[in-house]
Amino acid sequence: MMTKPSDTPRPSAGPWASALRSLLRNRSALASFAVLALIVLACLCAPFYAHHIAHTDPFVSNVAGTIVLNGQETDIMQPNDNPLHLGLSPIGPTGSTTYLLGADSQGRDIMARLLYGGRNSLLISFSAAVLCLVMAGVVGISAGFFGGITDMVLSRLMDIMWAVPVYLFAISLSIVTITSGLRIGPFVIEADNLLIPIVIIALVYVPYAARPVRGRVIALRQAEFVTAAKCLGVPRWRIVLRDILPNVSTTLVVMGPLLMAMALLAESALSFLSIGVQAPAASWGTIILDGEGLIYTRPMVAIAPGLAIVAVVLALNILGDGLRDALDVRDTSRRE
Amino acid sequence: MRSVPPNEQAANAPTAPQPLMAVRDVYKTYTLKKGQTLKAVDGVSFTIMPGEVLGLVGESGCGKSTLGRCLLRLSDVSAGQIVFEEQNITHLPERTLRALRPRMQMVFQDSYASLNPRRRIGDLLAEPLRVHRTPEGTRRNSATIAHRLTELMELVSLPHTALERYPHEFSGGQRQRINIARALVLAPRLIVADEPVSALDVSVQAQIVNLFADLQKHLGLTYVFIAHDLAVVRQISTRVAVMYLGVIVELGETDTVLHNAAHPYTIALTQAVPRPVVGAARPAPLRGEIPSPVNKPSGCRFHTRCPAVQPRCQNEAPALRQIAPGHEVACHYPVLK
């Protein structure tokens, strides 16, 4: 008798594993992931850069300081000869390790502040996106699966939030909390705590994420495998966790990067309006605000954080597209 | 006039077999948007004895699938009574019903849609074993579950490696075997099979029907086997119920219904089964479409298409009545041989 081919073929890849494999074949998604990883890594190295490369404290004003440029001692704040902009203007890009991208109007190193600001911007947008997905998941699944009065209440609530322009909503909430912080019973969140922008941004985007989740769950609730689970006597909460959630998780994961991109823009907008991250802490939005007054003389102050935002938002969008293609459940049956 | 279930005649004799399920005057009405009502199931009564296979046939839209779902309380019934193992389950709350679920199961038509695409077969089959306690009230450990899954794979003739795979890696016939295995996990007494083979290739259909038949013999199962094809039902059923627009028009032993049909609709159905005989005379097919269940014809539901329609049929709905022992027909003018 001939030798039989192996009885135990390799275990089949799960949906996540095959999605990862298809994502790894997607070059533009990989490239954007590399860009994101680079930016995150650089931001994580912010203290190292400030103390060991630039040798400055990016949170302390340095209006009277000097810097050695081309062997000459130069004032960081220099007289402004532009008739429209009287007074002092900070140095522009220097190209040396100190003040690589020049200084802002308080004589602080832009590059160091950019890295520190990136930490806050990325932390806030990432946390806000995750928090938003969790809330949207709970709201969308509850509304979609339980239907009836639960759906009515939740959907109307989402509609009301939807009706308010998202930035206006975020600005209103920020203005309320910025003066006194947030008091929830015995818990007090100080006004300068990053949790405040995180919660606000997550909250205003919940309707945008919850609605597609609800739609997907309504379709899934009528799926025959849910009826089959019911017929097998599986309790409802277990159906939600084991049958509904895994099928909705792709929807949530695909929304993740796009939501983070929107959250980053919202955070920058709030910080630009000085109702997001509070001075002396930095975020890309606050640096743009610093650069607003210097736009004619030292445009790099506003351009550098602007470019950082554009790079991250673009990379997140491409990554999100790649994820959507990789996780498209409809294709799994055809892929292999 | 309704047939008297056998258990009512022999209520005092404990040795007499009790029906596994008794269905009494069940209605399922849907309210549509415009205030119209759709009576998908319009007063159906029958009993199923243990070990019996009741074939339920009828055209698409006649309410047979809806009835099947009502039997297992996957849909709530609008009126009537469903008794399972002498317990009235018509209005049992979901929580109480859950305890009965292990004994009554369903096999669905769409073998792909009824398996969660994101879970491995082993995980899907283990789910009911994890959810339900044993009859002794203990939880099953993983060794017991693994053992049971191995048994099931053998029962439905699938390789053991199938447990590690995902639903999309199987063919339609294999997936239907998985669905059957899942229905068998908890060793049920009653299985409602809702057109389990109509989505399959003809060659695969025969295999799956044979599997149903083998399992029924070995495990002493009882089926309600729903199909729109008499040829499929013929192979497996002990009795056949023919449905038309929400009502049973004929009910009897398989041989009787197939060869001695008394209702003009059943006769048309049996003649529509293709016969492998060269030059066999093709009977005239039924005229027209099945009427909308929202706007049912008055009198006998079938009078608009009946080849032997009489004036009485347009006004008076015939009740299901016994014309021979175990043979019931709902027709004013049954064809008697």
What are the structural domains of chain B?
6-237 (3.40.50.300), 238-273+285-337 (no CATH)
* Rounded-to-integer distance, Cα A33 and Cα A23, Å: 11
Q: Is the pLDDT of residue A78 over 70?
A: yes
Residue A141: pLDDT band by 50, 70, 90 thresholds?
Answer: very high
Asked if the structure places residue A178 within a domain, the reply is yes
Contacting residues of B for A14, CB less than 8 Å apart: 118, 120, 166
Residue B174: pLDDT band by 50, 70, 90 thresholds?
Answer: very high
* Rounded-to-integer distance, Cα A295 and Cα A308, Å: 17
Determine the residue among B73, B127, B185 to mutate to test chain A binding: the one whose Cβ has the most chain A Cβ atoms within 10 Å: B127
Q: What are phi and psi of B223, to 5 degrees?
A: -120, 145
DSSP run (H or E) holding A16 = helix A15-24
Asked if the structure places residue A29 within a domain, the reply is no
Question: What pLDDT is attached to residue B15?
Answer: 61
Determine the residue among B116, B158, B176, B182 to mutate to test chain A binding: the one whose Cβ has the most chain A Cβ atoms within 10 Å: B116
- B176 interfaces chain A, CB cutoff of 8 Å: no
Q: Is the pLDDT of residue A332 over 50?
A: no
- The number of CA neighbours under 13 Å toward the Cβ of B122 is 14
How do residues A314-325 score in pLDDT, each as one tens digit?
A: 999 999 999 988
Please give the DSSP secondary-structure letter assigned to residue A77: E
- The answer to whether the pTM exceeds 0.90 is no
Tell if the CB–CB gap between A224 and B114 is shorter than 8 Å. Answer: yes
Tell if the CB–CB gap between A12 and B182 is shorter than 8 Å. Answer: no
Question: What pLDDT is attached to residue A2?
Answer: 44
Residue B22: pLDDT band by 50, 70, 90 thresholds?
Answer: very high
Tell if the CB–CB gap between A233 and B120 is shorter than 8 Å. Answer: no
Question: What pLDDT is attached to residue A20?
Answer: 86
Contact A46, A116 (CB under 8 A): yes
Contacting residues of B for A243, CB less than 8 Å apart: 116, 119
Asked if the structure places residue A206 within a domain, the reply is yes
Judged by phi (left if over 0) then psi (alpha if -120 to 50, else beta), residue B157 lies in left
Residue B274: pLDDT band by 50, 70, 90 thresholds?
Answer: confident
Residue A63: pLDDT band by 50, 70, 90 thresholds?
Answer: confident
Residue B7: pLDDT band by 50, 70, 90 thresholds?
Answer: very low
Percent of chain A with pLDDT over 90: 55
Residue A48: pLDDT band by 50, 70, 90 thresholds?
Answer: very high
Tell if the CB–CB gap between A234 and B169 is shorter than 8 Å. Answer: no
Mean pLDDT over residues B157-168, rounded?
A: 92
SS3 B154: helix
Tell if the CB–CB gap between B114 and A329 is shorter than 8 Å. Answer: no
Asked if the structure places residue A4 within a domain, the reply is no
Mean pLDDT over residues B297-309, rounded?
A: 87
Tokens of A73: 């001692």
Mean pLDDT over residues A265-280, rounded?
A: 91
Determine the residue among A4, A12, A232 to mutate to test chain B binding: the one whose Cβ has the most chain B Cβ atoms within 10 Å: A232
Contact A108, A59 (CB under 8 A): yes
C-alpha B147: how far from its chain's center?
30
Mean pLDDT over residues B115-131, rounded?
A: 92
Asked if the structure places residue A106 within a domain, the reply is no
Question: What pLDDT is attached to residue A10?
Answer: 59
Mean pLDDT over residues B304-322, rounded?
A: 88
* Rounded-to-integer distance, Cα A163 and Cα A169, Å: 10
Mean pLDDT over residues B146-164, rounded?
A: 93
SS3 B176: helix
**Within 10 Å of residue A229's Cβ, how many Cβ atoms?**
25
**Within 10 Å of residue A304's Cβ, how many Cβ atoms?**
23
Please give the DSSP secondary-structure letter assigned to residue B228: S
Q: Which of the two residues, A136 and B272, has the higher pLDDT score?
A: A136
Asked if the structure places residue A65 within a domain, the reply is no
Tokens of B285: 């097919």
Contacting residues of A for B128, CB less than 8 Å apart: 232-234
Closest-CA residue to B55 (of B240, B269, B276): B240
Question: What pLDDT is attached to residue B16?
Answer: 67
- Burial of A88 from C-beta contacts in 10 A (0-12 / 13-18 / 19+): middle
Q: Is the pLDDT of residue A331 over 60?
A: no
Ranking A171-180, A313-322, B270-279 by mean pLDDT, the lowest is B270-279
Question: What pLDDT is attached to residue B14?
Answer: 54
Please give the DSSP secondary-structure letter assigned to residue A42: H
Structural domain count of chain A: 1
Enumerate residues 68 to 127 of chain A having a beta carbon within 8 A of any beta carbon in chain B. Answer: none
* Rounded-to-integer distance, Cα A310 and Cα A304, Å: 10
How do residues A18-36 score in pLDDT, each as one tens digit?
A: 888 888 888 999 999 999 9
Question: What pLDDT is attached to residue A210?
Answer: 94
Q: Which residue of B has its CA nearest to A12?
A: B165
Q: How close, in Å, is residue A331 to chain B by CA atoms?
A: 10
Asked if the structure places residue A282 within a domain, the reply is yes
Question: What pLDDT is attached to residue A29?
Answer: 92
Nearest to B115 among A225, A236, A247 (CB): A225
Question: What pLDDT is attached to residue B33?
Answer: 82
Domain of A148 in residue numbering reads as 118-335
- CATH assignment of the domain containing A248: 1.10.3720.10
Q: Which residue of A has its CA nearest to B123?
A: A242
Ranking A68-82, A269-283, B182-196, B295-309 by mean pLDDT, the lowest is A68-82
Question: What pLDDT is attached to residue B8?
Answer: 47
